[in-house]
Amino acid sequence: YWAQSGRITKDLYAAVEGLRPQINKLEGYVILAKDKLSIDVKNFGIGELRKALKKKNVEGVVNKIDLVMGNVNAENNEAELTAKGFKPALKTAILEIRNRIRGLNEQQQLKKTEMKEAIKENWDVIGELRDMAMEVMVAGKAMYRVENKVRVKDYTPYQLKKKVSLERKR
């Protein structure tokens, strides 16, 4: 689960970063058409979208893209932007990236849910393992408490973890 989630996160952040050039172009067209747009450049949502991009706030990015594209579609804005060079291909590219980000985010949330479920399913096994380790520590301390005080130290949580780690490396 961890590796898959990491791969999804990497793809998600790459998609978020891939949005920047498209937003820069759109901002240029918005600035060029600022006098003829029904929404002021400051209120167009591009600044808020940049903040979400910088923070890698995926949900925020999706919401702000929707805001910006809603402003593009508002009233006569798209016609004014098109007059300044805005192309439908740019609009399509932005929407495709938004859809990719949304899809990857949903996949990531699904992986998180799967990981939580796996932990819940294995919780009993983890508890049993903990109980077994406690039994070994108590028994070992009891057996060597008087006869071999140096050996008693081998039955501490630290020493058991250390032995398990060494065994795993082998």
Q: Pick the residue with more confidence: 108 or 150?
A: 108
Least Cα distance to 98 among 19, 168, 158, 3 occurs for 19
Taking the C-alpha atoms of residue 161 and residue 96, their distance in angstroms, rounded to an integer, is: 49
Distance of CA 82 to the CA centre of its chain: 35
Mean pLDDT of the chain: 91
**What is the band of 5 on the pLDDT scale with cuts at 50, 70, 90?**
confident
> What is the model's pLDDT at position 164?
81
DSSP label at 45? S
Helix, strand, or coil (residue 86): coil
Query: What phi and psi values does residue 45 have, to the nearest 5 degrees?
Result: 105, 0
pLDDT category, 19, cuts 50, 70, 90?
very high
Q: What is the pLDDT of residues 32-58, one digit of tens each?
A: 999 999 999 999 999 999 999 999 999
Q: Pick from 97, 102, 104, 99: which is nearest to 18 by CA?
A: 97
**102 close to 19: Cβ distance less than 8 angstroms:** no
In the predicted model, what is the mean pLDDT of residues 11-37? 95
pLDDT digits (tens, 9 = 90+) for 94-149: 999 999 999 999 999 999 999 888 888 888 888 888 898 889 888 888 888 888 87
Residue 28 banded pLDDT, cuts 50, 70, 90 = very high
Instruction: Name the 3-class secondary structure at 147.
Output: coil
C-beta contacts of 150-156 below 8 A and 24+ residues apart = none
Residues 6+ apart with CB under 8 A from 103: none
In this model, does residue 83 exceed pLDDT 90? yes
The pTM for the full model equals 0.70
